[in-house]
Structure 1
Amino acid sequence: MIKWGIIGCGRIAQRFMQGFAAVDGVQLVASFSRRAVTVDDFVAKYGGAACYTVEDLLASDIDAIYIATLPDSHAAYSIAALKAGKHVLCEKPATVNLPELDEVLAVVKETGLLFMEGMKPPFYPLYTRLKEYLATAPIGPAGYVRAGSSVADCPPDHPNYNLDLVGGSLMQIGIYEAFLAIDWLGDLEDVQTMGRFGETGIDMFAIFQTKHAGGFSQLYAGFDLHGKGDALIAGPLGHVTIHKNWWNPARATIDYLDGRSVEINEPFSDGGLNYEIKHFCDLIKAGATESPVISHQMSQQMINMIDKARAQVGLVYPGEQSQESRVRNQEF
């Protein structure tokens, strides 16, 4: 039995518990939120003890912690949990920037504990089956990726719009696209970014194209246009379409140069986070310190891409050592 604690009891923690209920051999022991009423409501629904300080949570009899807070606190909570002897599954993005992630990974090395960023798409049945199919019927090495998501229905009070809480389309959505490009095209070599800011100082819409060891990508992310979309992965012998919503993948089409077309359908269950949770638990049992799927290097590559994109448009979060001023309410 792997005993879990949760830091942060908001929207994503609720979805985490939907998947958690479908995984064998796990138990929720304790939860913490910065707001007492939030953690009280959470434990009333899901069980376990309510903790009103993070110190109380870390002193609990738990093996692993899921960090479900907003990105501004990911690094601090990850380091505290690791130093308390707990394995850490931290929601994406793992940290605000690459230097913060390097600090976390230094503690991982010191403690010998498991740390993984919660990047869900590669654990879905569709994604794993697609990779397996292409291993025997390839489209050739991928040379181009196109993907994006723009969600225009976030409520006005959503944390995505909050600069202090590390909101913005690149950080909240673009990190998914960063994963897809790196997973298929390899190491990042260059980034070019354009877009626009909103009234709260966050990037409301961004387009970024990237150059990798294996090819090129064209990506977008935003909050003021309706652009929930698919993803395209192209190789010399064909291309793959992961149909919308590609970040919760359930259906893909492979179109080959010779005219063949193959449909792959793999519905997901229990909200989709159950596959990621099971993978993490398997890693704990194996004594691993990182995932071979979302490795530490993968997390470094992803946040490095977002760092470079933010630097080009002048998006800086409070507390970061940064450029002279923040660009607001204008075209990048």
Structure 2
Amino acid sequence: MSEIRTIKWGVVGAGHIARRFAQGLAHVRDARIARVWSRRGESVAAFVERYGGDACDSLDALLASDVDAVYIATLNDSHAQYARAALLAGKHVLCEKPATLNRRQLETVLETARASQRLFMEAMKPPFFPLYRKLRAHLQDDPIGPVGLVRAGCSMANVPPDHPSFSLAEGGGALLDIGIYEMFLAVDWLGAPLDVHTLGRLGRSGVDTFASVHSRHEAGVAQLFCGLDLDGKGDALLAGPHGHVWIHEKWWNPVRATVSYVDGRVVELNVPFEGGGLNYETEHFCELIRAGVLESPVMTHAKSLQMVSMTDAARAALGLVFPGE
């Protein structure tokens, strides 16, 4: 039996989400952090001391190393730039959500991935969680019928005022930091968006602090909301003709779901996760690399394009434009 190849990771960024990635990677078989780079050298030093790997003094040095894949854990405004650089250097790329600020940037990244013959995937974690996979399997065996309504939302009132989510220059705002999860849920169950209607408001820094999005899709309608200044529940509803599913808080880190049927039956699903949850998407990505696959069949390029098309339309309705767009 041949030995399983160990995937060597380079991490770009050394903040909170990079640390969560590292914590999750400890639960992924045959994968390790090999190189780390960030614009803040002190953060890199603290990161490698705790999670391992070698510190790089430049992005070029990381990309010139022998890493197989790069995880991009920087702020939203730099995702496209770093993703293209890594792909052009011949590395596979797992990029933290949102993949890019807008559809134009994502199309350019995907063109680079195709030309470089490298795997690119947006790090959208929910579909890889054990509960989400079990829910999919359950509805395949005991369906509620075609899902025609997705309702989901989360608004967090305790975001510190100096958090990057409030930074216009760094691509912040509720839609890209929170709403992108809900956009995923809508396109995953309802298909491509056909119409997107948005009401909301911009805060003092210029980013959206609350947005209510109603969208029509190939298979139904979505009702979504996201915010940075209100306290709103983080659950989700999937409705079909024969029943509905309630994914309990926090639905994007799913543990519990209740399936209620019109005939009165109720099925409770409860599946804990380990490692913080990012390990599941990372394990999937490593398996794709070993198999030589250049696009995830779960988190497809088409879904990423559909999601960013929704955020583009929602931002346009609110008049939110990032520097350089």
Instruction: Tell me the TM-score range normalised by the shorter chain.
Output: over 0.9
Note if 1:288 corresponds to 2:293: yes
Q: Distance in 2 between matches of 1:317 and 1:262?
A: 45
Note if 1:116 corresponds to 2:121: yes
Residue identity opposite 1:240 in structure 2: V
Alpha-carbon displacement from aligned partner over 1:85-107 (angstroms, at most 9, x marks no partner):
10000000000100100000111
SS at match of 2:168: coil
Q: Equivalences for 1:206-221 in 2 at 5 Å?
A: 206-221=211-226
Note if 1:259 corresponds to 2:269: no
Q: Match for residue 16 of structure 2? A: 11
Alpha-carbon displacement from aligned partner over 1:192-246 (angstroms, at most 9, x marks no partner):
0001111111100110000001110100000111113210000000000000010
Q: Equivalences for 1:125-274 in 2 at 5 Å?
A: 125-274=130-279
Q: Distance in 1 between matches of 2:21 and 2:235?
A: 24
SS at match of 1:103: helix
Q: Match for residue 303 of structure 1? A: 308
Q: Match for residue 43 of structure 2? A: 38
Shift, 1:27, TM fit: 1.5
Q: Distance in 2 between matches of 1:29 and 1:284?
A: 16
Alpha-carbon displacement from aligned partner over 1:237-270 (angstroms, at most 9, x marks no partner):
0000000010100000000010000000001111
Pick aligned residue for 2:79 from 74, 79, 88: 74
SS at match of 1:207: strand
**Which blocks of at least 5 consecutive residues in structure 1 are unaligned?**
321-332
Residue identity opposite 2:191 in structure 1: G
Pick aligned residue for 2:323 from 314, 318, 322: 318
Residue identity opposite 1:89 in structure 2: L
**Which blocks of at least 5 consecutive residues in structure 2 are unaligned?**
1-5
Q: Which runs of 4+ in 1 moved over 3 A?
A: none
Cα RMSD (Å) of the superposition? 0.6
Residue identity opposite 2:171 in structure 1: V
Q: Distance in 1 between matches of 2:205 and 2:101?
A: 18
Q: Distance in 1 between matches of 2:216 and 2:178?
A: 19
**When the two structures are aligned, how many residues end up with a matched partner?**
320
Residue identity opposite 1:294 in structure 2: M
Alpha-carbon displacement from aligned partner over 1:109-160 (angstroms, at most 9, x marks no partner):
1111100000000000000000000001000000001001101111221100
Q: Match for residue 65 of structure 1? A: 70
Query: How high is the TM-score relative to the length of structure 2?
Result: 0.98
Q: Match for residue 330 of structure 1? A: none
Asked whether the equivalents of residues 202 and 318 of structure 2 are also in contact (C-alpha less than 8 Å), the reply is no
SS at match of 2:46: helix
Residue identity opposite 1:200 in structure 2: S
Q: Distance in 2 between matches of 1:143 and 1:43?
A: 47
Q: Distance in 1 between matches of 2:234 and 2:70?
A: 32
Q: Match for residue 28 of structure 1? A: 33
SS at match of 1:270: coil
Asked whether the equivalents of residues 198 and 212 of structure 2 are also in contact (C-alpha less than 8 Å), the reply is yes
Shift, 1:313, TM fit: 1.1
Residue identity opposite 2:155 in structure 1: S
